[in-house]
Amino acid sequence: MSFNVDFKRAGLSLVVSMLALAIVGCSSAPPNPEGRQTVTGTIKLNGSPLGGMAGITFVPVDGGDGGGRGQIKEGSYELSGYDGVKPGKYIVQIYATVDFDKSTGEIGDNTMQFGNEITVSVVPPEFNEKSKIEFEVVDSGSNVFDYDIQTDYVPKMPKNAKGKDAVPL
């Protein structure tokens, strides 16, 4: 009888050990696949954390691959793992948008009627599609890119916005 009990314990212990190894083996991803590095930082707009619908993109200067993009949440971002960035030089592009309500001409909120919004960039082009901001991602060490966009740019609803009661600004 004690042989059966010990055998059952040994079998159960073996199954638990194998299950633990399988879980650890399946869940651990390489820290930097394809040599990609973690890049973190904070993005501010005139000293305040960039919020709303915001993102950051690292575009290779040489036109190759290895860049990355991610979402900025409450002014912070982290690109890691498969979303990380390969070592090299990059142009950094920062995007953020806000929705205007075509009926009122004001920045929309959750009461805005669906289909009545028009999306407008909060960040001027010199910080995104016309960016000349450079950053080099290194193979070892810290890859922190912090940036405070200083601008007097104020997003406005376009005058040609179409809507039932669109208000030109």
pTM: 0.71
Is the pLDDT score of 78 beyond 50?
yes
The average confidence (pLDDT) of the chain is 80
Residues 108-148 pLDDT 10s:
777 777 887 888 899 999 999 999 999 999 998 899 999 99
Between 24 and 98, whose confidence is greater? Answer: 98
Is the pLDDT score of 13 beyond 60?
no
DSSP 56-112: EEEEETTS-S--EEEEEBTTEEEE-GGGSB-SEEEEEEEEEEEEEETTTSSBP-TTS
Is the pLDDT score of 168 beyond 60?
no
Token pair for residue 67?
Answer: 């860049």
Is the pLDDT score of 19 beyond 70?
no
- The SS3 of residue 125 is helix
Write the CATH number of the domain with boundaries 31-149: 2.60.40.10
DSSP 4-47: HHHHHHHHHHHHHHHHHHHHHHHH---SSGGG-B-EEEEEEETT
Residue extents of the structural domains in the chain: 1-30, 31-149
Residues 48-67 pLDDT 10s:
999 888 999 999 999 888 89
Between 103 and 79, whose confidence is greater? Answer: 79
pLDDT, position 116: 79
Q: Please report, rounded to a whole number, the percentage of residues in the chain having pLDDT higher than 90.
A: 46
